[in-house]
Amino acid sequence: MSYITLLMQGVSLEEDQGKHLASELEQVEFRGFSELRFIWSDPTNRQILGLQHLQYLKVDGCAKLKSIFSAVILRSLPELTSLVIQGCNELEEIVSENEELHHDLSNTKVVCFPKLRNLTVKNCNKLKSIFSVSVLGMPPQLSYLHISDAAELVQVFRNSSDKIVFPNLREMKLNKLPCLVDICIGFELLQPMKAVKIMVDQCPNFTSISEAT
């Protein structure tokens, strides 16, 4: 039985066993689960949902998946460095931004995705943005951002303020994003982008990079 099958069946395990299983996971791939709508959907089982050692997560070919992370699981990813999402055409949110998430983040000082360095999103045609940095904050270690083939993506990040910063960004690839108009609509870039390797292809409505560099 694969790690991913064990993780998905984790809610049926004994609590101590589930806790041990989840705490040891470092790499997880969900591939080809065509009927999967939610990955972690039990917000009460916090022991099993602990993924404190998870470093790499890939979600591939989960056609009906609506979101990746809930508020509960988001607090349990201190070591996640690489996130790859592709072939999830019904995906509407990477992070489910509901009232629970807003309440949790407003009452804690937890940094979301504190070690995330690599973020790749491909073939997710219902995503309109990656996530809201005004809610989650910008991942402080984000270095490589690759987004392609997302037909409805309008902006990379959402932000309710007028300023945004990429403290460690080194490379940004944007490809085949016909609706993309901006990195973050209405933002003010707080650092020059000249040190960032930027590749933009087949994004006919996108102009903000040239204006910001």
- For 205, counting Cβ atoms within 10 Å of its Cβ (0-12 exposed, 13-18 middle, 19+ buried), the class is exposed
| pLDDT (average), residues 24-50 | 71
Question: What gap in Å lies between CA 58 and CA 77, rounded to an integer?
Answer: 14
Report pTM. 0.81
Residue 73 pLDDT greater than 50, yes or no = yes
184 in helix, strand or coil?
coil
User: Could you give phi then psi for residue 115, rounded to 5 degrees?
Assistant: -115, 10
- Average model confidence (pLDDT) across the chain: 77
Q: How many domains in the chain?
A: 1
Question: Is the dihedral angle over the CA atoms 111, 192, 208, 60 positive or is it negative?
Answer: negative
Confidence at residue 126, expressed as pLDDT on a 0 to 100 scale: 95
Q: Which residue has the higher pLDDT, 132 or 130?
A: 130
Q: Give residue 211's pLDDT band: very low, low, confident or very high (50, 70, 90).
A: very low
| Residue 99: partners with Cβ closer than 8 Å, 6 or more residues away | none
- Residue-number span of the structural domain to which 183 is assigned: 3-212
Confidence at residue 194, expressed as pLDDT on a 0 to 100 scale: 66
User: Could you give phi then psi for residue 148, rounded to 5 degrees?
Assistant: -150, 155
Residue 180 pLDDT greater than 60, yes or no = yes
Q: Which residue has the higher pLDDT, 79 or 8?
A: 79
Tokens of 189: 């870039």
- CATH number of the CATH domain containing 41: 3.80.10
